[in-house]
Structure 1
Amino acid sequence: MKDGFIKVAAATPQIEVADCIHNTQEIIKKAKEMSAAGARILVFPELCITGYTCHDLFFNETLLQSAKQQLLVLAEELKGTEGLIFVGLPLEYSGKLYNTAAAINRGEILGIIPKHSIPNYGEFYEARYFTSGRDIEGEIKLGDKMVSFGSKVLFECEEMPQLCVAAEICEDVWTPASPGLFHAMAGANVIVNLSASDEIAGKSEYRRDLIKGQSARLLCGYVYATAGNGESTQDLVFGGQNLICENGSLLAEAQLFKNETVYGVLDIQKLRGERRRISTWLEEKGEKHLHISFHLPMEETELYNNFEKNPFVPDCDTERAKRCEEILTIQAMGLKKRMEHTKCKSAVLGISGGLDSTLALLVTARAMDFMGLDRKNITAVTMPCFGTTDRTYTNACELTKRLGAELLEVDIKKAVLQHFEDIGHDYNVHDVTFENAQARERTQVIMDIANQQGGMVIGTGDFSELALGWATYNGDHMSMYGVNGGVPKTMVRHLVRHYADTCQEEKLAEILRDVLDTPVSPELLPPKEGEIAQKTEDLVGPYELHDFFLYYMLRFHFSPSKIYRIAKKTFEGIYTEEEILKWMRKCYWRFFSQQFKRSCLPDGPKVGSVSVSPRGDLRMPSDANVRIWMDEIEKLN
């Protein structure tokens, strides 16, 4: 439960229809297994104590009394079992029969939730037996205690106040205005569903999409347990498709017809953060809901789910290719609109042979194609200076020619040396002045060329560089339209690779692949024996780590300690804990200290869920103090 994580489980026990004693023992066994595995919210199927397919036996007094008695047995047997446990059974209340979910915690039956929506169509005819529990509020006697019986109940954890759980039953989630909707608006961030949904061809896909969609729409965790093998097959077959979803993502799914138990770890902090962030999410105070407390042990939940090393990049090849096409098109369409609006017919950019300028050139070429203009309207300017290597120079020139753009070479060495003389800087002092003078000279050159042509300077800097402030202020930091400003460095690589894989021109693909193999560098220091002397990732750290940190900093606003915890798990065996902390310090320090550069960024398109644009996602003071974040990082040693 530390950092907002909680492990949940959905199980399908092997039941015998109408044998409440057998079924209860199976539930007890499963519950103890799930709790021992660390699950703290445990969900079983609809009517699991009796079985869903009892049909007219639900009218029988013997079955009803046995179900009620076995609920008491179950609660007693689970006194020492940690977790909030939901089981299904039929219960009589005020002379009517209800299909209910019972919530149990540490041996106590906390509440009974009746099903709202009673299906009476197709293969379902529950209205033959059960009454809708909509808007019921009252109490029922179970054993020697009175227990709340009602449709509007929230279960709140004493030890983890952010955790709020509510229940609905099967058909409830298939309705236009499900109980879960109102529970979520009243504060529930975990919805459990006790279900008995039969299998017919194609239904499993629909069901999966339904639960994923419900968790996304309600910004919640959703734990769905459904009936499986053991139910009567007189007319129906049940598959046990247990599902765990979180805000639209599928965390776990049981194989059909296996009666599997599935586990997932929900992040309650993340869900609450999303609700805070999204201004259209409105919570009611839940005055109409009954609030019932439950208890869980305070412990560190094992991180059962995996976190993607590259959260900005889809892991699936097909999805990644689709995403690359979308991003390239968004970038190009953004540039197309800006050029059409300004009546520009030409574009100018610096081409270095590195990743970012390569991507910018590819995007600009696509934009020209969209506008129906000749790629000769692109002027790619190579500006060799003290740090330029033969490899990057050759790639820059060949790439420009292969794409059909105009190549212009402007050697800036003389201009920079003259500038050093003018300001009294020693060429042999390779400090920040030595480096930034080159970057600013390059920017001046392409700006002036654009003025000559009546063209537009296309920015090449990417999202990760902007987040870390790895750009020369009013040097490569500045342009007239920054096409890469929303693209993380880890995604830049995949965009260039995608272009290489799909361009259907072997020589162009060969150049792009060599660009991908070239170390990331601003090439502002003289080469050593012809090789790049200044490698960016040696100085600021691995971009895959920084993009990982930035994703969880900016998308979900996690604390450094939480990001460090998931980074340790994600990069285990790749980076040591000391390395992760080292680069995390660097990331936070640079992110805060370099905000002034982001406060005056050129326009450029947002392409993903995170942006550092001062006009978009990130409104941050340039003089915010990083102290409390750094203090937290230091405590992680």
Structure 2
Amino acid sequence: MHRNVRYNCRVMFLNRKILLIRPKVALANEGNYRELRWFTPWSRSRQTEEYFLPRMIQDLTKQETVPFGDAVLSTRDTCIGSEVCEELWTPHSPHVDMGLDGVEIFTNASGSHHVLRKAHARVDLVTMATTKNGGIYLLANQKGCDGDRLYYDGCALIAMNGSIFAQGSQFSLDDVEVLTATLDLEDVRSYRAEISSRNLAASRVSPYPRVKVDFALSCHEDLLEPLSEPVEWKYHSPAEEISLGPACWLWDFLRRSQQAGFFLPLSGGVDSGATACLVYSMCHQVCEAVKHGSQEVLADVRTIVNQTSYTPQDPRELCGRILTTCYMASENSSRETCNRARDLAQQIGSHHIGLNIDPAVKAVLGIFSLVTGKSPAFAAHGGSSRESLALQNVQARVRMVIAYLFAQLSLWSRGAPGRLLVLGSANVDESLLGYLTKYDCSSADINPIGGISKTDLRAFVQLCMERFQLPALQSILVAPATAELEPLAHGRVSQTDEEDMGVTYAELSVYGRLRKIAKMGPYSMFCKLLYVWKDVCTPRQVADKVKRFFSKYSTNRHKMTTLTPAYHAESYSPDDNRFDLRPFLYNTRWPWQFRCIETQPFIGGPGQDVSRELNKGSIPLVTN
């Protein structure tokens, strides 16, 4: 707080003395961030003021005032500038003018959350900053879960003149990581001296206020002092990022919530199987951290399992202590999914339960029949689509109730203390389309895969099968995705997800990116996909696909208001909490936009009446 205004600041100090308080000049106010709600950016470029320290700080530092503002530190041998997180990502970053004014070392205290494939952009920004202008760049990034949907993945680095000299771990259970490199400041000076365009720009730049610091960063002349060598940045594949990031997020959530483990409804499909694999991956990381001497992780494990002498060594054994899986069968379940769930649970070591929900479903339907005198039937048994959907939703919601009951009392029934966190398993594509039931098993305490596409999840499951030696995943990968909420046909699954949705998962990823990232509505998306899909679809087919997607998206958008908190991993997440703030009551017929599509002369004959089609299908215009 400076002159009754809140600023987001970095405090730079040396030997118990504050050197400079540097307020942030560019605030993040898009996506997941709302900094302008809490802070004001410092708008007085290259200006400082006196900041009167609180008396409690004065007693510690023996200082009454310190510089506050946009300045740099001038030591005996170099000049150090500072950026804060978002400032690196802005079109005119402070490091540009600071570098032109002679700043040789840039530091950045960042709070950049993980998104799949984002590390490439982060590394490119730093390397390009030092390629164009020379200099040494030190980037430190927050690590861990901050109590919400975001995970901060570390990824600290040290770069000079366009090359990386040190790379920190991108995902780790350690709270603190120190990264060092020994570099020669003369390399920066000689690099800059050769760039004439930079030197011309430097002659015109306005100077920064300098805070003099009686300190030297460089060592005395020592020709034998070894210098760090450039390294090639090692990127994780998206599947590896999924294996590590959400697993670390789960660990932070588990230890900070002080619960005793997780409860996962395991259906035998890819989504719940991927969630189980994430917990298993978490157990691997915990065992590795303990093996490498992390006392903090060891203390947390002992608190979770309630054993002060316990030391985890085998991920499978640890998984059996903290993960309870449950296959909730109904008369519509197949033996294949039951076997797949059981086999995976055995291979990862979870405590597995098998139960049948039919008595509970019949009890709920019995209440309805008792009151109304009516008994709904599935479409396969002569019922309407409205009846069939209601019967499917009852099964799904009963599973949610049972999941929370077992999460609360499962450990009690085994004579152990504590409760379990319920894990959800709805992926980002299904959330985007609303292919889920409100308050079913998608309703949980947290959802580690809720921000991940089906395509990336399948790649992750393939990685787990190979890396963790889990052959049960093979049958899960090749099986068609199905909710198993409708009656079986001769003992076989008659309902698949993509047939139900009328959209493929690959198409959903395309729609999601164009809607959120490219900010496209129905007509803009139609125009874009005419070209993108010109070799596989006619204009008529493109029009029908786009109209079908937006009709279903808008019909089911209300479901996002109750979506389980999920790990944020994709830039097209439909998370209604803060990332994708959209209405949840739309005109689902999109009359103007759809009319613009239909009036194109090259589109052919009249298209499908999407709203009528939806009313006939498994996802009606008003859903629950």
Q: TM-score, normalised by structure 1?
A: 0.48
Greater fraction strand: 1
Q: TM-score, normalised by structure 2?
A: 0.49
